Chain A
């Protein structure tokens, strides 16, 4: 990231095409649709931020910053919010952004309703809406102009080229972008590319922007490529399936938690990218993650297993077949568990698994909402009752309560990592934000000095 800023010493150039490759396969860019596949949903969010914008956006600290809304105000009870739109903003088809078009595009959540009035967008709720801004900053609240023929137009820095189909998406620069024309003329996105193919294409000069795993960071850097990363937003955790007799005994779960040598995995496989997770939320988001110590105690794990009345049957651990890093971590977990006397068979079939290795990204950058997201994902929400503005202490206790029965063992918090051609430069801001959004409108390609 720092390297990206330093590149601003070179004057940016307009033109060129940025070739992006990604593993997920996004079928359609439409903010109103939410894919069930988490990887596709995350990739879709990234691509949609290039085409569509929201009223506000969140900065690296989770604070709301102006986007299409230049300013906003609310009453003391936070029940009535007024958003004043940025002037001169046009959709890609030339239609001027107006409050009524924003209202038509917003998807009300909770108790609030949006309306156009006073030359602005008014959101009214019967209940206080203190977290309205993070909600409006979510990609699902992207502002889009939907024509009768189904065509969607956004206001973002790039617009769909329209001619690309299937697994290839092309975007062109929005000449009338309110923030100024992006440096890139065009962005092509190859979807459904395997990590190995992406790496090959990057090395062969067929791509400039690819996804990488932590295990590739050293290789990429040694080969003179650049690495961009988000904050460690993704949580990798071991989840014990409910209703599986083999893991119903908490001693089994605890023994496995004690057996895993997270430090070895972090040092070797993750190449020290991200952080070892004691809790569900990463430290940069919660601020108290250091209170969750990660204990690697194989002797204690063996003791727990030795004291059990019946031998522990072989357990099945499933992981995402498309994620090589997940496979490496799963195999190491199996090795560590074996040292503790527990046999774990690693597979990619989740149907019969006793435990799963999952990678989840909370939808919100607000700690309480993020914890609630994770708790819901892990089916732990019944035991936690969080208020939106809960204190750190309350969140900590809530999170500890969530984890005390070892139903979920957080392992790592990982950033999103991207490898880039050395020719890819940024002007004023990192190409990938802390929250993982792509800021490609500020990216340019140095064609003369690769």
Chain B
């Protein structure tokens, strides 16, 4: 992973964690605030329910009392107090009175508990409603389950009595506690009030009513309602409604003798909270996204600021490694990277200066070596020439008679030494000239074999320990593009060196083969081998380990190989011989 990518990931992580933390904090605080507000609203609604409940109760009491004080009720009471009363004439009275006084439930009950007339269930005439006789004084309204032909309804009821003589007429009336009642409650947005009528053991969905009628997904409230009915106390639960989570507070509604007849449920939708949290999360995600985007851009910018100089430095280092010591890094920043770049440039500058100094020193050394070699090479023939000329001078002065003979011998010697001088100068001249190679297709194996044949006589020369040639040519080597004369000259030099390296005889091994798309030519001897210092300076011009060597042979070989696009290397182990390896590109 690059420094830029790591920087990008780091920035993205930092932004994400920061935004997530802020989002969580805001969400949590919003939730707490909402729940506090929700509690207040629920409490207000419950208070409103209780007030409305009490108000309805008062209203029921007033209306039933109105009926009890009416002339119609008195007339009915009087008629019923007569012997053998005819109930049939009053069978529809309850309906009329209930309609006139705005009651949902009304029953006229005779002194013996028989229903004389029922507004809400007209067909129940004659049946007993003994519960109205259970209490002499009904003051307030109370909750009661009233049976209807096809259902049981929750009602706010009260009873009043009309006396006519010894017999009494009981008037039991009330109003339904259901959908209409729930509609009368002023509900804040997001809240709802439900009423569960406890008609039978176990939860019944149909017994749950809302302001708009049957409650969808009523089953989700079943555990809460059953818990309230079983324990009798208030309870709160959060349910997952279709329109979002909802906190529902359940309050038991008791009738006479504390019998649980119903449950009031006040639901407060958490949809707004969920929406708020969702918005916060969305905002957080958007902020996070923007942060990450900015992070990317920032990272890119930082990368550009930080890693580009580093990359330039790396490129510069690579150039230096490749030998381009003139490489420079163009970084203008004043930070640590800029300091590093300046140090790099200083370093390369110093390297260049040192190299120049080194080259200069090497040149001086080469010139000194050249001078030493020249002096050495020239001194050898000059000394016989000087001796010969001094002999000739002494013979002229001291033995003129022998002068001619001395002269003849001396001139022969002089000519011979001059020839040596000429040869030395020629070799130096050849190294200096080194013409460019004339390339043509050359069979490398054949060239190798021709060189061996040239040296056969020398390898087996009498008086010298024999050297055994061993030629290992790979037939797949094929041809190469080379100057045959230069290539032959290079081979000849290497073979001469090998022969010179084996004064006690040995094996000269010549080998060709293909390797990695190139052609390899190896020439190995079994001589004494080279020291590391010798190996280090082997190809330096004018360096030689021989008594009569010019030190130009291997330098010429290296020059030829280089001119052919190849490479030459040497492996040597002291006491086991030396191997020169030439690698040439294929033709």
Contact = CB atoms under 8 A, between A and B. Distances in A.
B126 interface: yes
Interface string B51-95: 000000000000000000000000000000000001111010000
B122 A328 contact: yes
Contacts of B127: 335, 339
Contacts of A335: 121, 123-124, 127, 149
Nearest to A214: B88
A114 B121 CA distance: 58
B125 interface: yes
B135 interface: no
Contact of A268 (B121, B125, B150): B125
7 contacts: A268-B87, A268-B126, A331-B123, A332-B125, A335-B124, A335-B127, A335-B149
Contacts of B149: 331, 334-335, 346
A121 B126 CA distance: 59
A268 to B, nearest CB: 4
A388 to B, nearest CB: 40
A272 to B, nearest CB: 7
A8 interface: no
A268 B124 contact: no
A345 interface: yes
Interface in B139-166: 149-150
A86 interface: no
Given A269-B91, A271-B88, A264 B125 contact: yes
Contacts of B125: 264, 268, 332
Given A268-B125, A334-B149, 8 more contacts: A264-B125, A264-B126, A268-B87, A268-B126, A331-B149, A332-B125, A334-B123, A335-B149
A332 B87 CA distance: 16
A192 to B, nearest CB: 25
A17 B121 CA distance: 42
Interface string B148-189: 011000000000000000000000000000000000000000
Contacts of B122: 328, 331
A146 interface: no
A415 to B, nearest CB: 17
Interface string A319-338: 00000000010011011000
A261 B115 CA distance: 14
A267 interface: yes
Contacts of B124: 335
A261 B126 contact: yes
Nearest to B121: A335
Contact of B88 (A267, A331, A346): A267
A218 interface: yes
A345 B150 contact: yes
Contacts of B89: 218
A264 B88 CA distance: 9
B128 to A, nearest CB: 10
A331 B120 CA distance: 12
Nearest to B87: A268
B88 A218 contact: yes
A346 B89 CA distance: 25
Interface string B106-128: 00000000000000011111110
Given A334-B149, A345-B150, A328 B123 contact: yes
B88 A269 contact: yes
Interface of B: 86-89, 91, 121-127, 149-150
A345 B125 CA distance: 18
Contacts of A345: 150
Contacts of A261: 126
A317 to B, nearest CB: 12
B88 A332 contact: no
A332 B150 contact: no
A129 B91 CA distance: 51
Nearest to A268: B88
- 9 smallest A-B Cβ distances: which pairs? A331-B123, A268-B88, A264-B126, A332-B123, A335-B123, A268-B91, A268-B125, A271-B88, A267-B88
A241 to B, nearest CB: 21
Nearest to A222: B89
Nearest to B89: A218
Nearest to A272: B88
B87 A267 contact: yes
Of residues B88, B89, B121, B149, which shows the largest number of chain A Cβ atoms within 10 Å of its Cβ? Answer: B88
A149 B123 CA distance: 54
Interface string A342-355: 00011000000000
Contacts of B91: 268-269
Contacts of A218: 88-89
A346 B121 CA distance: 13
A413 to B, nearest CB: 18
Nearest to B86: A267
B153 to A, nearest CB: 16
A318 to B, nearest CB: 15
A382 to B, nearest CB: 35
B166 to A, nearest CB: 23
Query: Quick one: which of A267, A268, A272 has the most chain B CB within 10 A?
Result: A268
B322 to A, nearest CB: 101
Contacts of A264: 125-126
Contacts of B87: 267-268
B219 to A, nearest CB: 23
Interface in A294-334: 328, 331-332, 334
Interface in A217-233: 218
A261 B88 CA distance: 14
A261 B126 CA distance: 9
A269 B124 CA distance: 11
Contacts of B123: 328, 331-332, 334-335
Contacts of B126: 261, 264, 268
A209 B141 CA distance: 48
B92 to A, nearest CB: 8
Contacts of A271: 88
Interface in A251-273: 261, 264, 267-269, 271-272
Most buried by A among B87, B122, B123: B123
A261 B87 CA distance: 15
Nearest to B126: A264
B204 to A, nearest CB: 16
A196 to B, nearest CB: 13
A346 B125 CA distance: 17
Interface in A153-179: none
A412 to B, nearest CB: 14
Contacts of A272: 88
A348 to B, nearest CB: 14
Nearest to A264: B126
A298 to B, nearest CB: 11
A240 to B, nearest CB: 20
A218 B89 CA distance: 8
Q: Taking each of A261, A267, A272, A339, which has the highest tally of chain B beta carbons within 10 Å of its own beta carbon?
A: A267
A36 to B, nearest CB: 31
A31 B126 CA distance: 46
B259 to A, nearest CB: 22
A267 B125 CA distance: 10
A339 B150 CA distance: 14
Contacts of B150: 345
B50 to A, nearest CB: 35
A332 B88 CA distance: 14
A337 to B, nearest CB: 11
Max chain B Cβ within 10 angstroms of own Cβ: one of A261, A264, A272, A345: A264
Contacts of B86: 267
Nearest to A339: B127
